[in-house]
């Protein structure tokens, strides 16, 4: 495989490819500012709150983004995580969880309560640094 597989069999973690893509887009489109509008993954263990794969995923992608900006002089203006909340995925319904917050959507007594996963604390710490 090209990299570690996430929870969906079509999704691999390939941060070096992300950096190469940022550099290619920057070169192809005359260094126009770039905003990454959607990047994220589901956890291969589909763990409820301890989403360590997602933390490693974003840590490696943000490092690749930093290297693209510093070393390759790519003008990146924003990075948005997919997704803030667990949601309905077209191909998998509610089975795959991409969110930083878990949504209780299971069973007839589903409360839709949102509970932060470990990645929320990681992002808060990352942003403060």
Q: Strands (DSSP E) along the chain, which ranges?
A: 34-39, 76-81, 101-103, 114-116
* Residue 12 predicted with pLDDT over 80: yes
Dist. CA 18–CA 33, nearest whole Å: 16
Name the pLDDT band for 45 (thresholds 50, 70, 90).
confident
Quote the percentage of the chain above a pLDDT of 90. 79
- Spell out the residues 6+ positions from residue 77 whose beta carbon is closer than 8 angstroms to its own: 33, 34, 35
- Spell out the residues 6+ positions from residue 81 whose beta carbon is closer than 8 angstroms to its own: 39, 40, 58, 100, 123
Check residue 86 and give its pLDDT.
Answer: 87
Name the pTM for this structure: 0.92
Could you report the per-residue pLDDT of 78-103, keeping only the tens digit for each?
A: 999 999 998 888 888 888 899 999 99
* Residue 47 predicted with pLDDT over 80: no
* Residue 110 predicted with pLDDT over 80: yes
Check residue 46 and give its pLDDT.
Answer: 76
Could you report the per-residue pLDDT of 49-75, keeping only the tens digit for each?
A: 999 999 999 999 999 999 999 999 999
Check residue 49 and give its pLDDT.
Answer: 93
């Amino acid at each position: 495989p090209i990299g570690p597989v996430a929870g969906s069999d079509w999704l691999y973690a390939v941060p070096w490819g992300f950096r190469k893509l940022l550099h290619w887009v920057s070169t192809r489109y005359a260094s126009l500012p770039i905003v990454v509008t959607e990047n994220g993954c589901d956890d291969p263990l589909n763990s409820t709150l301890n989403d360590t794969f997602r933390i490693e995923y974003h840590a490696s992608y943000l490092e690749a983004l930093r290297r693209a900006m510093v070393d390759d002089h790519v003008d990146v203006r924003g990075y948005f995580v997919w997704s803030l909340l667990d949601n309905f995925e077209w191909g998998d319904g509610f089975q795959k969880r991409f969110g930083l917050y878990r949504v209780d959507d299971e069973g007839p007594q589903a409360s839709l309560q949102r509970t932060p996963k470990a990645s929320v604390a990681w992002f808060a710490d990352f942003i403060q640094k």
